[in-house]
Amino acid sequence: MLFLQLNKKIGEIIYSWYSIKAMDLYFSKMTRRNYIQQLLLLIGSSMLIPGCVEPGGLISEKLKYIKLTANQEKIFTHYLDNLLPSNQTYGARELKLNLFILTMFDDCYSESDQERLGKGLMELEKVCEKKSKDFIAMNYAEKKSFYQILNTNKTHSQDFKFLLKEVYRWAVKGYQNSEYVMTKLVPYQLVPGHFYGCIKLKA
């Protein structure tokens, strides 16, 4: 046993020595042109790798025009969860409707409308923070009651009403056109559908 451990240690030392020699030989023969090529390759790889990483983190970090904080994004996500909750079917969270809606806001709206949406998100945050209880910690019944009051209140600003209307519109569209709904709940078929040429007629 001792002999095997000693032999393994000697092998590691020899491998390390040859690795160092190989690196010295490589860098001694590296020209200025090769160095620049390697440097550019390293820079390009560092820019490419983040795009290959599993999607995660904050959606707001990926947006170009819509500006919202981490807390606003969290509140917005919980708002959608209550709008389309998960029950026996997928809801807003499973279908990632928060990503879909914020991307639509960021890509498909004019600058003036994006400003209105940004102000609406700020107002949504303020309204939720006025609650005596942390609204994120509310149970489903409490959130449902809160959102009913939220959507029927006529004293909100026009920007806030615009946000609620657009969120509802895109939430419904995103849900109905999701892969889950069109393959699991309402299987999509081209009109006029399958043609049955031979059918037995009952007299």
**3-state SS assignment for residue 35:** helix
pLDDT at residue 155, rounded to an integer: 81
d(CA 5, CA 126): 66
pLDDT at residue 137, rounded to an integer: 74
Q: How confident is the model at residue 18 (pLDDT cuts 50, 70, 90)?
A: very low
d(CA 144, CA 154): 18
For 142-152, the pLDDT digits (tens) are 777 877 877 77
pLDDT at residue 127, rounded to an integer: 83
pLDDT at residue 134, rounded to an integer: 67
Same domain, yes or no: 95 and 169? yes
Q: Does residue 150 form part of some domain?
A: yes
Q: Does residue 194 form part of some domain?
A: no
Does 140 score more than 80 pLDDT?
Answer: no
**3-state SS assignment for residue 21:** helix
Predicted TM-score (pTM) above 0.85: no
For 68-96, the pLDDT digits (tens) are 888 888 889 888 988 888 888 899 999 99
pLDDT at residue 46, rounded to an integer: 46
Greatest extent of the chain over all pairs of C-alpha atoms, in Å: 94
Same domain, yes or no: 69 and 95? yes
Same domain, yes or no: 172 and 104? yes
Same domain, yes or no: 80 and 42? no
pLDDT at residue 17, rounded to an integer: 45
For 36-59, the pLDDT digits (tens) are 766 565 565 445 434 433 345 677
The answer to whether the CB of 76 falls within 8 A of the CB of 123 is no
pLDDT at residue 2, rounded to an integer: 45
Q: Does residue 190 form part of some domain?
A: no
Does 106 score more than 80 pLDDT?
Answer: yes
Same domain, yes or no: 48 and 123? no
pLDDT at residue 108, rounded to an integer: 92
Does 129 score more than 80 pLDDT?
Answer: no
pLDDT at residue 44, rounded to an integer: 55
Buried-state track 107-128, b at ≥16 Cβ within 10 A, e below 16 = eebeeeebebbbbbbbbbbebb
Q: Does residue 202 form part of some domain?
A: no
Torsion of CA 72, 78, 79, 83, to 10 degrees: 160
Which two tokens mark 166? 């657009």
Same domain, yes or no: 72 and 9? no
Q: Which domain holds residue 105?
A: 59-183
CA gyration radius, the chain: 29
Same domain, yes or no: 16 and 43? yes
Q: Does residue 35 form part of some domain?
A: yes
d(CA 157, CA 131): 19
- Count of domains in the chain? 2
Does 116 score more than 60 pLDDT?
Answer: yes
Same domain, yes or no: 37 and 65? no
pLDDT at residue 109, rounded to an integer: 92
List Cβ neighbours of 95 (8 Å cut-off, separation of 6 or more): 84, 174, 175, 178, 180
Does 193 score more than 50 pLDDT?
Answer: yes
Which two tokens mark 44? 């390009």
Task: Give the number of other Cβ atoms within 10 Å of residue 160's Cβ.
Answer: 22
Q: 3-class secondary structure for 142-179?
A: HHHHHHHHHHHCCCCCHHHHHHHHHHHHHHHHHHHCCH
Q: Which letter does DSSP use for residue 74 in this model?
A: H
Does 176 score more than 80 pLDDT?
Answer: yes
Average pLDDT, the chain: 75
